[in-house]
Amino acid sequence: MRKIFAIILISFTFMFCVTKVSASSNAIASVVACKYGFGDINTKPLGEYVTSRLSTSLNFHTVYNTYSPTKSILKGETTIDRYFLESDVLYLAGHATKSNMAWEGCTIPKVGIRAFDTDYSSTEDGYLVGVGQYDLSRVKFVMLEGCDTAKGTSNISKFFVTKGATTSLGWSTEINAFSAKSWLTRFWDKVSSGGTIQEANNYANSATYIASSIKNTVIYGNKNLKLSTLKTLAVNNLSSPRYGSAKLENEYNFMKKVNSNDIIEKISYLIKENINSNFNIKNFEITTSYSDGKKIVDLIYNIDGVVVELGYTIFIQNNYITSIFDNTNEVNLNDLGKEIKELKISKNSTNTKNKIVYDYLTKELYKFTEQTSIDSYGAIQKGYSIEKIA
C-alpha cells in the first residue's frame, strides 16, 4: 500500500531549508506546506516530495521551501530583485477555499495568501497576503494543492493567471491527501520527461487511486507549457517510452458514444470485449471526477467492502468514451477476490468515513479513516489516518 503519506531573507536564514542545484539556468521554485497539528492533516510530506523533484529531476537552480511560513517569508524576496511569490514555479499546499489558502499549527500566527491585490489581517484570522500586488507574469506555473482552489468561475487558481501567471493548476472540489503523493509522483514523472502540464495532468489522472477526488483538477492558462524548458541539464532517469507522448501501455482507445443512462453499461461492454472477458461490474466501486473538460469514471476493485487500489479508469469527452486505462497491473482479480473473501472481514468495519484497504503486494489490511477540518476562513482540508489491522 502506498502510504501518503528556502524563500530566503538574509535576517531569517536560520528558518529555512534551502536546496541548491548547480545549473546554468537561473530558474527558481518556491514551496510552502504545513503540518497543521490536528488529526493527520499534514501537507509537509507533499512539499518535501515536490521540493525533491524540482531540485533533482528538473534541476532548478534553487528551490526555496518552508514548512513554517510567516508573513515575512511570504512577502519576502528570494533574490535581490525577485519576491518569493514571483518564483518561476510555485507549489502551495494547504487548507484552502476558492479565494484563499492558509497555514496554521506549523506557524504562529496563522498566515496565508488570498486572491486580492491587498493584504488582510485580523486577530482571529491572522495575516493573508494579497498575491495580486506582485508581478505574477514572472510565474510560469503555480500548483495550488488544496480544497476548492479552482472551484466555480472565480477562484484563486484563475486569479494567478488573470494577473499574469502563465499556467495554474487547482482543484474544483474537496480533496483528500491520502492519494496526493501517488498523483504527484505521476504528474512530476511526466513533467520531468518533457511532458506538458496538460499531458502530466492526464497521465496522473489515468491511474487508479483509493481517493479519486484527487482527479478533480482544473488548468488555467497555457496548458501546453513545458517546465523542462526552464532547465538546461538533461533528465535521463525518466526517459522510458512509458513517459513519452505516445499512448500508454495500459491504454485502450475508443470513440464510443454514450449518454447519461448507459455509461456504465457501455463501459462494461468495452472492458469485457477488449480487456477482460471475466469483468464483473458488481466487484467495483464507481466514482466520478472531472478534469480538463473530461469526465473521469473510476472503477475501483471492491470485494465485500474491502477496497484494493486496482481497477479501470475511463476518460469521457464530449459524450464519447475516448480511453480506458487498465490499472489492474496484470493481477488476476478472480484469485484476488477469493483471497480477500478468505479474510472474512466484518462488514460492520466499513462505513462512509472508514474504508478497509487491502495491500495486494504485502497481503496486509489497513483501516483508512477520513478526517475533515474547517478553519476560521471556512477552508476545508481532508486528511486521513491509517491503522494496520492484519
Instruction: Quote the pLDDT of residue 386.
Output: 74
What pLDDT does residue 112 have? 95
Residue 328 has pLDDT above 80, yes or no: yes
Mean pLDDT, residues 236-249 taken together: 37
Which residue has cell 497555514? 103
* Confidence class for position 149, pLDDT limits 50, 70, 90: very high
Average the pLDDT over 53-70 and give the result: 86
- Residue 233 predicted with pLDDT over 70: no
Largest CA distance in the chain: 65
Percent of the chain with pLDDT over 90: 61
Q: What is the pLDDT of residue 22?
A: 32
**CATH 3.40.50 domain position(s) in the chain:** 10-237
Backbone angles phi, psi at 158, to 5 degrees: -65, -35
- By DSSP bridging, strand 100-103 and strand 111-114 are antiparallel
C-alpha to C-alpha distance for 313 and 306, rounded to whole angstroms: 19
Whole-number Cα distances in Å, 142 to 37, 149, 170, 281, 310 = 25, 12, 9, 38, 30
Local structure of residue 250 (DSSP, 8 states): T
Residue 108: pLDDT band with limits 50, 70, 90: confident
What is the pLDDT, as a whole number, of residue 184? 95
The pTM is what?
0.85
Whether 186 shows a pLDDT value over 80: the answer reads yes
Phi, psi at 346, each rounded to 5°: -65, 130
pLDDT band at 171 (very low <50, low <70, confident <90, very high): very high
Among candidate residues 69, 57, 128, 60, the one with its CA nearest the CA of residue 89: 60
Tell me what pLDDT residue 59 has: 75
| Residue 5 or residue 384, greater confidence | 384
Mean pLDDT over the full length of the chain: 83
- Return the DSSP state at 247: P
Burial of 268 (0-12, 13-18, 19+ CB in 10 A): middle
How far apart CA 242 and CA 227 sit, in angstroms, is: 19
Pull the grid cell for residue 13.
536564514
C-alpha cell at 340: 480477500
Residues 354-382: what's their mean pLDDT?
75
State the Cα–Cα distance between residues 234 and 230, nearest whole angstrom: 11
SS3 for 52? helix
- Cell readout for 67 is 514548512
Residue 92: the pLDDT is: 98
Give the mean model confidence (pLDDT) for residues 57-74: 88
Q: Read out DSSP for 163-200? A: TT-SEEEEESS--BGGGHHHHHHHHHHHHHTT--HHHH
Mean pLDDT in residue range 266-293: 95
CATH topology of domain 10-237: Rossmann fold (3.40.50)
Instruction: Name the most confidently modeled range: 27-36, 54-63, 147-156, 231-240.
Output: 147-156
Cell for 227? 517546465
Beta strands 100-103; 95-96: pairing state: antiparallel
User: Is the pLDDT score of 9 beyond 50?
Assistant: no
Q: Is 66 helix (H, G, I), strand (E, B) or coil?
A: strand
Cis peptide before 45 (omega within 30 of 0): no
Residue 366 to residue 309: CA distance in whole angstroms? 12
Residue 333 grid coordinates: 482479480
Confidence of residue 240 (pLDDT cuts 50, 70, 90): very low
Q: Report whether pLDDT(71) > 60.
A: yes
Nearest Cα to Cα of residue 371 among 384, 355, 380, 357: 384
